[in-house]
Structure 1
Amino acid sequence: QAYPSRTKDPDRVDFSTGSVGLGAVAPSFAALSHQYAQSHFADVPDRRFVSLLGDAELDEGNIWEALMDDTLGHLGRLLWIVDLNRQSLDRVVPGIKAGRIQRMFEESDWQVLEAKYGRKLERLFALPNGDRLRERIDTMPNEEYQALLRLPGDQLRRTFTQVDGTADPVLVDLLASVTDADLPGVIGNLAGHDLEKLLEVMDQIDDSRPTILFAYTIKGWQLPFAGHPLNHSMLMSQEQVDDLRGRLDIPGDDDWASFAADSAEARLCRSTADKLYGGDRRPANGLSAAQIPHTLAAPSNPQQSTQQAFGSIMLALSRNEALARRIVTVSPDVSTSTNLAGWVIKMGMYGRQTRKVPQEGGAQWTVSPRGQHVELGISEMNLFMALGVFGLAQELLGEQLIPIGTVYDPFVCRGLDAFIYGLYSGAKFIAVGTPSGITLAPEGGAHQSTVTPSLGMELPNLDYYEPCYAQELAWILLEAMRGCTDLVSGRAAYLRLSTKTIDQSPFRAALERIGEDALHDQVLRGGYRLIDWRAADQDVRRRYLIHIVTTGAMAPEAIRSAQALHDDGIAANVIHLPGPRRLYERWRGGDDLTWLVPEGEQRAPVITVHDGASHCLAWVGGAFGSSVTTLGVDRFGQSGRREDVYRSYGIDSEGILDTAYAILQRRSVL
């Protein structure tokens, strides 16, 4: 692969890279997961976590979000090495503020090391008046320094020793012993290319805290375009490649030749490989998918939201010791407002030192090394980085973790880069986005998510669920955990929940009509008939049939619409899709959906209703072989009473009814 990939490269890769800044911080979160695993499980071996960063990656905001989070500020055996070549993709960067960047790390309690000059230059610095040479290089603009290195030795000498238009006799004298042929290599002798100097600096690493090492380098070192402002996109000619081959002693007929088997270099490579990769990784400890409970009784409240039910289900899971010890929850300072407080009070918050954190109402959170909730600062990027890396613990650390993270659904998009990175890396985790949609009417458009269902439908390696009822959620959460334990075919999961209080009796009626085992199966397959016209009390006319297909919090509106149609003698089904992606993939894969819509009903018109972008369920028409009218939220949201906001966007029960009657009129059946 062009960039190392955990899932696509045949060799063992710990962290995928390629998306600037994300691969850089992943080892930091892995160090956190390692510290967590050592606090909770026996025999987790020591590890060191190393990132190699390009200096331009320090422009990425996620680097600084990670740096600013206190959770990552006290990790030992963590090393970042910054390749400080001071070039971007298009130019030599004129003003790299290395000192300012270093101070920012120091103020975050990192150990800051610098490898700036190699031993050749340091020997000259040690001569009488050598500080003048150091000053000349230190104060030289970066673009001037890079340009000098491309000059022949005699021109370099004349230009370098000129200060304010006059030859500096001190500099001339200091460089007198260096030949013109050697001078470019001496002036360009930066420590990032001097292995012994690098090792000398690395000997200073303090394993008790995170360390960053700034290693000064020249981009394209030892190549014809070293230091050239456009070298990122330059290619070498065949003659230049042949010259490089000769300098590196690479045989003409074997571009991938190893060092001679009996050489010191080959012995070092073999011993290092044996140390890092000697033998297979030890078998991971954890649960199999079969060990996850098949079902779990949901809270019995007659009226509840899915977010409320989530908190209760998490507490119920805490009573299953074997499962609970594998669960770690994470949130970006929203644990209470996403109903994780009960879990946190019972299981504790993770931290290196034991202490109590008072909460409103007299409750206390206990912070300790045994806690099972990681509370991050307000950074969705950090949340998804943590979920993705904790979701690789079984492979990286030999201990299975089931990470469950909560986030306000509109801010899933803020962490999207890291979300995608975790999925691309093959991580298994559960992300709970709540509250969601314009259902969160009082909050206004900035807090009302509309595109997140589309992400759930389209991101690879992800299952997306949008339940409406507590029992659906219980079954789905267990299924998502089974996905986290299956390293071969399991997926991460995204659950979109709501704070809308919903009457649970329609689900209980469907449970009675369909049967628990069958309904459990249908929920996990993606959908079921929440309201079946064939079971309606009214005298409805089968000749007129409409399918109302919905997901999540809009089910009550769909039910009221169907009831109104039944009152008018018109047959209407409400088909609820708590797992729309699963049903879509079954249809795309050629599965028979007659268990959901029999052949005799597959030409009936479809109305889809979603508190999200209207296109997200548009595929349902194709699945049922029907015409489809999609209702959803295709404009930014706004503040207001929920029923008024629904009405404004045409997704309330009246909007559904208006659509149904318009369809029937077009078909000339009314």
Structure 2
Amino acid sequence: MTRKTEIRRALEAKTLWLSSWMIHNANNIREKGRIKVGGHQASSASMNAILNALYFDVLRPEDRVAVKPHASPVFHAIQYLLGNQSLQQLQDFRGFGGAQPYPSRTKDCDDVDFSTGSVGMGVAMTAFASMTQDYLAGHGWLKGPKGRMIALVGDAELDEGNIYEALLEGAKHDLRNCWWVIDYNRQSLDGVVTQGLNARFRDIFVACGWDVIELKYGTLMQAAFKKPGGLQLRAWIDGCDNGLYSALTFKGGAAWRARLEADFVGDNEALALVADHDDIALAQLMSNLAGHDAALMAKTMNAISHDRPVCFICYTVKGHGLPLAGHKDNHAGIMTSSQIESLRSDMGISAGDEWEHFAGINIPKSEMRDFLESNQFNARGYRRFTAPAIPISEPFTPRIKSNASTQEAFGQILAAIAADAPELAERIVTTSPDVSVSTNLGPWINKTGLFAKTDQPDVFRDEAIPSTQK
């Protein structure tokens, strides 16, 4: 194992601890108010390795990320380690003025790219952000290389219809530089999701022009599959019901052993492979899904050199690394005080050092700091930008009749902007869904034109057929 790998694993354990402690502190230690606090330790843990792979290995400063709402504690923990989040904000998590339960550009002090409180909305925003980036590049306004617009998606968010509208819109406009990373833990608020949805997701994304990469088996699993009995183990995993997999994960190594030995009766190779692992090692093997293998995910993502949209289906266990892992009721479940104490002990963190950046890490602090300070994503510091106001020499004068509909008045206002304030007009994009004429945007579009990344022929004009659309 290289030193960098050791450091990355230490950071992954640290963000799991900080995110869990943040929620525990808010619910059990901080002065209680009259309103329930709550939190999502299991949902956050589910995506811990994914966020670590991205923020500590894959992302560049120009990339933008919409973080799954319930993964905000891990996001805030990472920003805290990078120096972009304060201790006070973490201690006030889910409190007035503290770090937000769902990433917020207006309320959080750390480097939030997209507000993702509304389920599914942040996902769709990344597609439209990529299209906006193309618009900026097409007008010569983009400074620096194009970034990747990345959504970290809870699999239950894929129930939201707006996501599929965004997929279709992206297909219409040749979407590029967009990644959606699905936390496929197969559990939602009320239980385990429908079996076999991954194949349907794949078909939908492929139909819309996306590459789909399925990350299912971690490196421990892949190594086991190469041993005698490994092919049988892989077939068992592939055929295992989502609910059973979750239940066995929660029950632990002894339960895995009993079930596998019962199902592999008469298969000496498979039984020997199971017997090679003690209960702890067997539980680690069976929960070693690729979505918890940060090094594997980083290697896969860093190998992508094209700009086509990519959907990563990352298999995970909800609550991975916590005693809540796999339980169907763990969505809003919070560890007990004894469970958090056990986790603290396992992490080697002393009482009073819960918020310390490197407590429990056996690597010298100087090495940890050097690694974080050399982080490529954080290289340019805070990434909130402002643009100068566009000067308007004279007020534009829309020609609105005394009796006019609001729709007609809207069209006249935009037409006046196009005529009298062309620099402002360049910064306004209308997205009427093929009803520009009936929404009174005809004069506006005739003046400003349509935007596309490539030249679009006007067959009616070429054929000398009169049209109100110029």
**TM-score normalised by length of structure 1:** 0.50
Cα separation, 1, equivalents of 2:398 and 2:252: 77
C-alpha contact 2:151 2:179 (8 A) present in aligned 1: yes
Partner residue, 1:437: none
Aligned with 1:278 (options 355, 372, 381):
381
The alignment partner of 2:308 has SS state of: coil
Residues 1:175 and 2:278 are matched in the alignment: no
Residues 1:188 and 2:287 are matched in the alignment: yes
C-alpha contact 1:29 1:72 (8 A) present in aligned 2: no
- Paired AA for residue 433 in structure 2: P
C-alpha contact 2:400 2:412 (8 A) present in aligned 1: no
Q: Deviations 1:561-605 (Å, cap 9, x if unpaired)?
A: xxxxxxxxxxxxxxxxxxxxxxxxxxxxxxxxxxxxxxxxxxxxx
Residues 1:4 and 2:107 are matched in the alignment: no
C-alpha contact 1:357 1:365 (8 A) present in aligned 2: no
Note the 1:42-53 alignment, pairs <5 A: 42-45=141-144, 46-53=146-153
Cα separation, 2, equivalents of 1:105 and 1:245: 41
Shift in CA distance, 183/161, structure 1 to aligned 2, threshold 3 Å: same
The alignment partner of 1:68 has SS state of: helix
Shift in CA distance, 86/43, structure 1 to aligned 2, threshold 3 Å: closer
After TM superposition, give the deviation of residue 201 of structure 1 in Å. 1.8
After TM superposition, give the deviation of residue 285 of structure 1 in Å. 4.2
Partner residue, 2:467: 363
After TM superposition, give the deviation of residue 155 of structure 1 in Å. 3.4
Aligned with 1:324 (options 411, 425, 428):
425
C-alpha contact 1:37 1:44 (8 A) present in aligned 2: no
After TM superposition, give the deviation of residue 332 of structure 1 in Å. 2.0
Cα separation, 2, equivalents of 1:5 and 1:279: 15
After TM superposition, give the deviation of residue 150 of structure 1 in Å. 2.4
Note the 1:184-223 alignment, pairs <5 A: 184-223=283-322
The alignment partner of 2:438 has SS state of: helix
Cα separation, 2, equivalents of 1:5 and 1:157: 44
Shift in CA distance, 36/43, structure 1 to aligned 2, threshold 3 Å: closer
- Paired AA for residue 205 in structure 2: F
Note the 1:490-639 alignment, pairs <5 A: none
The alignment partner of 1:337 has SS state of: coil
**TM-score normalised by length of structure 2:** 0.71
Partner residue, 2:436: 335
- Paired AA for residue 111 in structure 1: D
After TM superposition, give the deviation of residue 286 of structure 1 in Å. 4.2
Residues 1:349 and 2:453 are matched in the alignment: no
After TM superposition, give the deviation of residue 257 of structure 1 in Å. 1.4
After TM superposition, give the deviation of residue 294 of structure 1 in Å. 5.7
Cα separation, 2, equivalents of 1:120 and 1:189: 6
Aligned with 2:323 (options 221, 224, 230):
224
Shift in CA distance, 279/64, structure 1 to aligned 2, threshold 3 Å: closer
Cα separation, 2, equivalents of 1:224 and 1:340: 58
C-alpha contact 2:127 2:149 (8 A) present in aligned 1: yes
The alignment partner of 2:128 has SS state of: helix
Partner residue, 1:427: none
C-alpha contact 1:358 1:364 (8 A) present in aligned 2: no
Residues 1:127 and 2:216 are matched in the alignment: no
C-alpha contact 2:216 2:290 (8 A) present in aligned 1: yes
Q: Deviations 1:144-202 (Å, cap 9, x if unpaired)?
A: 111112234233212123238x4532320222322222111101110111111111221
Partner residue, 1:602: none
Q: Greater RCO between the two (CA within 8 Å, min separation 6)?
A: 2
After TM superposition, give the deviation of residue 281 of structure 1 in Å. 4.9
Cα separation, 2, equivalents of 1:338 and 1:189: 54
Cα separation, 2, equivalents of 1:163 and 1:69: 47
Q: Which runs of 5+ in 2 are unaligned?
A: 1-99
The alignment partner of 2:123 has SS state of: helix
The alignment partner of 1:297 has SS state of: coil
The alignment partner of 2:365 has SS state of: coil
After TM superposition, give the deviation of residue 269 of structure 1 in Å. 2.5
After TM superposition, give the deviation of residue 138 of structure 1 in Å. 0.1
C-alpha contact 1:32 1:72 (8 A) present in aligned 2: no
Partner residue, 1:113: 213
- Paired AA for residue 355 in structure 2: W
- Paired AA for residue 321 in structure 1: P
Partner residue, 1:93: 193
Q: Which runs of 5+ in 1 are unaligned?
A: 367-670
- Paired AA for residue 255 in structure 1: E
C-alpha contact 1:78 1:207 (8 A) present in aligned 2: no
Shift in CA distance, 301/217, structure 1 to aligned 2, threshold 3 Å: closer
Shift in CA distance, 52/306, structure 1 to aligned 2, threshold 3 Å: closer
Cα separation, 1, equivalents of 2:344 and 2:433: 51
Shift in CA distance, 358/127, structure 1 to aligned 2, threshold 3 Å: same
Q: Deviations 1:339-390 (Å, cap 9, x if unpaired)?
A: 1122222322111211124569633868xxxxxxxxxxxxxxxxxxxxxxxx
Higher strand share: 1
C-alpha contact 2:210 2:310 (8 A) present in aligned 1: yes
Q: Deviations 1:310-335 (Å, cap 9, x if unpaired)?
A: 43443332233222222222212221
Aligned with 1:60 (options 128, 152, 160):
160
Note the 1:238-257 alignment, pairs <5 A: 238-257=337-356
After TM superposition, give the deviation of residue 309 of structure 1 in Å. 4.5
C-alpha contact 1:31 1:78 (8 A) present in aligned 2: yes
Partner residue, 2:371: 268
Cα separation, 2, equivalents of 1:305 and 1:150: 61
C-alpha contact 1:87 1:229 (8 A) present in aligned 2: yes
Residues 1:23 and 2:108 are matched in the alignment: no
Q: Deviations 1:123-144 (Å, cap 9, x if unpaired)?
A: 0112244221111100111111
Q: Deviations 1:486-516 (Å, cap 9, x if unpaired)?
A: xxxxxxxxxxxxxxxxxxxxxxxxxxxxxxx
Partner residue, 2:392: 292
Cα separation, 1, equivalents of 2:431 and 2:207: 26
C-alpha contact 1:356 1:364 (8 A) present in aligned 2: no
Residues 1:78 and 2:78 are matched in the alignment: no
Q: Deviations 1:522-570 (Å, cap 9, x if unpaired)?
A: xxxxxxxxxxxxxxxxxxxxxxxxxxxxxxxxxxxxxxxxxxxxxxxxx
The alignment partner of 2:158 has SS state of: helix
Cα separation, 1, equivalents of 2:367 and 2:126: 31
Shift in CA distance, 135/232, structure 1 to aligned 2, threshold 3 Å: same
Shift in CA distance, 41/208, structure 1 to aligned 2, threshold 3 Å: same
Of structures 1 and 2, the larger Rg is shown by 1
Q: What percent identity do the matched residue pairs reach?
A: 38
After TM superposition, give the deviation of residue 244 of structure 1 in Å. 0.8
Cα separation, 2, equivalents of 1:74 and 1:264: 44
Shift in CA distance, 167/237, structure 1 to aligned 2, threshold 3 Å: farther
Aligned with 2:203 (options 80, 94, 103):
103
Shift in CA distance, 359/281, structure 1 to aligned 2, threshold 3 Å: same
Cα separation, 2, equivalents of 1:196 and 1:357: 50
Partner residue, 2:238: 138
Shift in CA distance, 131/150, structure 1 to aligned 2, threshold 3 Å: same
C-alpha contact 1:55 1:83 (8 A) present in aligned 2: yes
- Paired AA for residue 318 in structure 1: A
- Paired AA for residue 467 in structure 2: A
Cα separation, 2, equivalents of 1:155 and 1:43: 56
After TM superposition, give the deviation of residue 70 of structure 1 in Å. 4.1
Shift in CA distance, 310/147, structure 1 to aligned 2, threshold 3 Å: closer
